[in-house]
Amino acid sequence: MQHCFRAIELYNSIMKKGMFLICIAFCLMLVSAKAEDSTKVDSIKVWKKGGIAGLNFAQTSLTNWQGGGENAIAGNALLSLFSNYKKGLSTWENTLDLAYGKIQTGKAALRKNDDKIDLNSKYGYSFSKNWNYSALFNFKSQFDDGYAYPNDSVVISHFLAPAYTLLAIGLDYKTTNNNFSLFISPLTGKTTIVNDQRLADAGAYGVEKATYDPTSLALIKGGNKIRNEFGGYLRMTYKKEVMKNVTFQTKLELFSNYINNPQNMDVNWENIVSLKVNKFITASITTNLIYDDDVNIKVDHGDDGVIDAVGPRVQYKQVLAVGFSYKF
């Protein structure tokens, strides 16, 4: 019975965010259907729209299990949308990736294990068969509060704390089948937003931290909530069906700040292997590697609660998911 209550609690928590994602998908489906007849020029569609909505759950239940272990239950909702325009030499590609998940192990409270907002918009004007002049805008953030588990009393992230915006102008190389794209920009502006004064005062995520009087420790100047950078940017995407019903996708983003330590590039590398079981059931393995020289991470090597080191670290996430999905 206790497992049932935990499952219901997790389901309610996921659905609060999951229903939000589903509502977005439903509204966009209606808009897409309504606009379908008006997006044709000379019988050729200039807009292509679609997406995938998914809901995944996993559970481990142990009773008198001599091998040891803990009960666990996890779930996550995801929504991936695209809306692409092509007419003549002009293209406009838009994607929105949303995800939210929680996990509960043993007697611990529910904890967030996935949280993602990633909006990308890229305009291109073709000047040869595979090359385009392009401008790109990207926005990244999260929905919910984050904690430095096992310490669940101090919030280390919020919605828009951090958030990242990026505006780049450059050249885009795309293959004829659009499976491969390489965007290179020597002119890129990146903005880090920390919309939480406590985190800004601490200098979280690379913003300028607060200034205090050395004697009285009184606050002289609060931390900045905004940090602007200027540099170079590279974005590579690749997608291929490696075998029937098995698809591999990868996305690599690199950014170098010309003004401060240009040799220390920010890295965001995502990989997805998707297996389509049938029309509604899919399985996927997702990995995400991040390195940001401006983000200091506390490390406790001995798990004794004492911080041994603070500094930039490679961040890595892996998710194995099996569940329901709907493609539209």
Query: From the DSSP assignment, how many helices (H) and strands (E) are in the chain?
Result: 2, 20
E strands within 175-328?
A: 180-193, 211-212, 219-221, 226-243, 246-257, 266-276, 281-291, 297-299, 309-311, 315-327
- 222-262 residue pLDDT tens: 999 999 999 999 999 999 999 999 999 999 999 999 999 89
**pLDDT > 90: what percent of the chain?**
54
Tell me what pLDDT residue 154 has: 84
- 187-204 residue pLDDT tens: 999 999 999 999 999 999
- 6-20 residue pLDDT tens: 555 554 555 455 555
Reply yes or no on whether the pLDDT at 2 is more than 60. no
Judge whether 174 and 181 are in contact, CB under 8 Å: yes
- 256-301 residue pLDDT tens: 999 998 999 999 999 999 998 888 899 999 999 999 988 888 776 6
Tell me what pLDDT residue 304 has: 56
CA atoms of 8 and 11, how far apart (whole Å): 5
Place of tokens 């200039």: 46
Reply yes or no on whether the pLDDT at 93 is more than 70. yes
What is the pTM assigned to this prediction?
0.84
Per-residue CA distances from 180 to 28, 41, 235, 252 (Å): 26, 27, 11, 12
Tell me what pLDDT residue 247 has: 94
Q: Which amino acid is at 1?
A: M
